[in-house]
């Protein structure tokens, strides 16, 4: 029997574990190690601060799902790996493997600039989203200017855009919009670059949104320092701010950086080929955010990265699972699809409005790319949330 240990239980890890077991059946033992008992639909966290969702609405315990599908779940923190002995060390013992899948997700680099951790909010975790809800209740008692955006080196601009438009809608609902100067700051070369080289008409569409909602914006800027009542930009400009929400960059987690055998990049990501197999370790694979992605563009002045979202994470989990099964059968023709060649499929919420972003691949060149605004409602975003939670609760990782 072949034993595969999967470290990380979010989009990529859950998909990889379930698919390896489904395809490998009794010939494959699969162990998933994760420090969280919950699977969380992270894209919906942007709704939590405004009370549109509770954490319980977008999460569930993953152990029962995995058990029903024959995957062993270990609730523990993975500490490091010895790739020579093929052992993963955790807070609950050691686990030997034949194949290792690193699907650990990111660590948030709050120290990208002074004051980011102390004075800026971050919506990307349940705790962060709930802290924002509390902060906004206080904010509406004494409204002031707001700064929303992403720092230098950030890659998740999409979620920050979503939060921006949702907070603009919330300000109108609270009847305090006229009292608030709303600022958007981004390292992007232009509005709607998204870390993927932009989309046709994307910049024009977002400029229209900014004008429509009376949002001041700054592109090609970094954050020099965040204070309790202001944000200093890399240009030297100081924006007053009574509430600040920023998306910092992601880096690799301690499991990766504490494991020199993995030969991670300086930012803590796993070097892989287009088959998601480690470049130097044939029985080590990576999926999701843990993957090192080579950018096909060079930012003009302020560095920023590319988004690592749920759909590519899910897809890379499937590719890894298929390739592990093929290798176990002695096959050499592996599935290859570089991160940038995975189709682009994203629904950007814009405050009960939405923009569908569809493309033949994440990075250029593309044979097809389109942005479709829906200014009436965000039902596609809601449908996607319901569908993904349903299929994951059922353990149907093979579905699109």
Report pLDDT digits (tens) over 249-281.
999 999 999 999 999 999 999 999 999 999 999
Distance (Å, whole) CA 34 – CA 38: 9
Distance (Å, whole) CA 334 – CA 321: 11
What angle in degrees, to the nearest 10, is found between the helix axes of 11-24 and 310-328?
30
Distance (Å, whole) CA 387 – CA 376: 21
pLDDT per residue as tens digits for the range 65-75: 999 999 999 99
pLDDT per residue as tens digits for the range 339-376: 999 999 999 999 989 999 999 999 999 999 999 999 88
What's the pLDDT score for residue 376? 85
CA gyration radius for the chain? 21
Q: Could you tell me the two tokens for 354?
A: 């939405």
What's the pLDDT score for residue 302? 98
What's the pLDDT score for residue 309? 87
What's the pLDDT score for residue 310? 87
Distance (Å, whole) CA 349 – CA 167: 11
Residue 248 DSSP label: P
DSSP-derived secondary structure for 289-313: GGB----SS--SSS-------HHHH
Distance (Å, whole) CA 100 – CA 102: 6
- Cα separations (Å) of 291 from 139, 258, 336, 339, 356? 39, 16, 14, 9, 25
Backbone angles phi, psi at 386, to 5 degrees: -60, -40
CATH architecture designation of domain 108-249 = 3-Layer(bba) Sandwich (3.50)
Give the chain's mean pLDDT.
97
Spell 13-43 as b/e; 16+ CB within 10 A means b: bbbbbbbbbbbbeeebbbbbbbbbebbbbbb
Q: What is the mean pLDDT of residues 88-108?
A: 97
Q: What is the dihedral of CA 288, 291, 297, 298, to 10 degrees?
A: 120
Q: Where are the domains of the chain?
A: 2-107+251-340, 108-249
Q: What is the mean pLDDT of residues 134-148?
A: 98
For the domain made up of 2-107+251-340, give the CATH fold: FAD/NAD(P)-binding domain (3.50.50)
pLDDT per residue as tens digits for the range 205-235: 999 999 999 999 999 999 999 999 999 999 9
Of 146, 139, 101, nearest to 286 by C-alpha is: 101
pLDDT per residue as tens digits for the range 288-298: 999 999 999 99
The answer to whether domain 2-107+251-340 and domain 108-249 are alike in fold is yes
What's the pLDDT score for residue 394? 97
What's the pLDDT score for residue 375? 86
Spell 210-244 as b/e; 16+ CB within 10 A means b: beebebebbbbbbbbebbeebbbbbeeeebebbbb
Distance (Å, whole) CA 322 – CA 115: 44
pLDDT per residue as tens digits for the range 153-190: 999 999 999 999 999 999 999 999 999 999 999 999 99
Of the CA atoms within 13 Å of residue 55, those in its CB half-sphere come to: 13
Distance (Å, whole) CA 113 – CA 116: 6
Residues 6+ apart with CB under 8 A from 394: 65
On whether the CB atoms of residues 265 and 245 are closer than 8 A, the answer is no
Name the pLDDT band for 34 (thresholds 50, 70, 90): very high
Q: Quote the percentage of the chain above a pLDDT of 90.
A: 98
3-state per-residue secondary structure call for 101-134: EECCCCEECHHHCCCHHHHCECCCCHHHHHHHHH
Q: Could you tell me the two tokens for 261?
A: 């055998």
């Amino acid at each position: 029997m072949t034993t595969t240990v999967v470290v990380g239980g979010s989009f990529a890890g859950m998909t990889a574990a379930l698919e390896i077991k489904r395809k490998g059946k009794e010939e494959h033992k699969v162990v998933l190690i994760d420090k969280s008992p919950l699977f969380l639909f992270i894209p919906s966290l942007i709704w939590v601060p405004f009370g549109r969702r509770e954490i319980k609405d977008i999460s569930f315990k993953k152990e029962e799902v995995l058990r029903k599908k024959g995957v062993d779940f270990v609730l523990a923190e993975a500490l490091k790996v010895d790739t020579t002995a093929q052992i993963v060390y955790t807070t609950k013992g050691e686990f030997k493997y034949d194949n290792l899948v690193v699907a650990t997700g990111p660590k948030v680099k709050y120290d990208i600039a002074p004051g980011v951790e102390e004075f800026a909010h971050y919506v990307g975790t349940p705790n962060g989203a709930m802290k924002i809800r509390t902060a906004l209740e206080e904010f509406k008692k004494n409204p002031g200017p707001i700064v929303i955006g992403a720092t230098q080196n950030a890659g998740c601009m999409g979620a920050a855009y979503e939060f921006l438009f949702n907070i603009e809608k919330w300000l109108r609902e609270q009847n305090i919009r006229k009292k608030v100067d709303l600022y958007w700051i981004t390292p992007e070369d232009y509005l709607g670059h998204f870390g993927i080289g932009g989309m046709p008409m994307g910049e024009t569409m977002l400029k229209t949104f900014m004008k429509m909602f009376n949002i001041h914006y700054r592109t090609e800027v970094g954050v020099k320092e965040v204070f309790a009542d202001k944000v200093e930009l890399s240009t030297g400009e100081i924006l007053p701010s009574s509430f600040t929400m920023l998306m910092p960059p992601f880096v690799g987690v301690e499991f990766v950086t504490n494991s020199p055998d993995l030969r991670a990049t300086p930012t803590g990501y796993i070097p892989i080929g287009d088959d998601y197999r480690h470049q130097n370790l044939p029985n080590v694979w990576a999926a999701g955010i843990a993957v090192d992605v080579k950018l096909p563009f060079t930012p003009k002045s302020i560095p920023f990265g590319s988004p690592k979202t749920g759909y590519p994470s899910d897809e890379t989990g499937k590719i890894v699972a298929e390739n592990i099964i093929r290798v176990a059968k002695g096959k050499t023709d592996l599935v290859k699809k570089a991160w940038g060649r995975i189709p682009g499929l994203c629904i950007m919420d814009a405050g009960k409005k939405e923009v569908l972003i569809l493309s033949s691949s994440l990075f250029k060149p593309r044979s097809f790319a389109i942005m479709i605004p829906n200014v009436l409602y965000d039902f596609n975003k809601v449908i996607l949330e319901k569908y993904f939670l349903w299929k994951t609760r059922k353990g149907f990782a093979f579905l699109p």
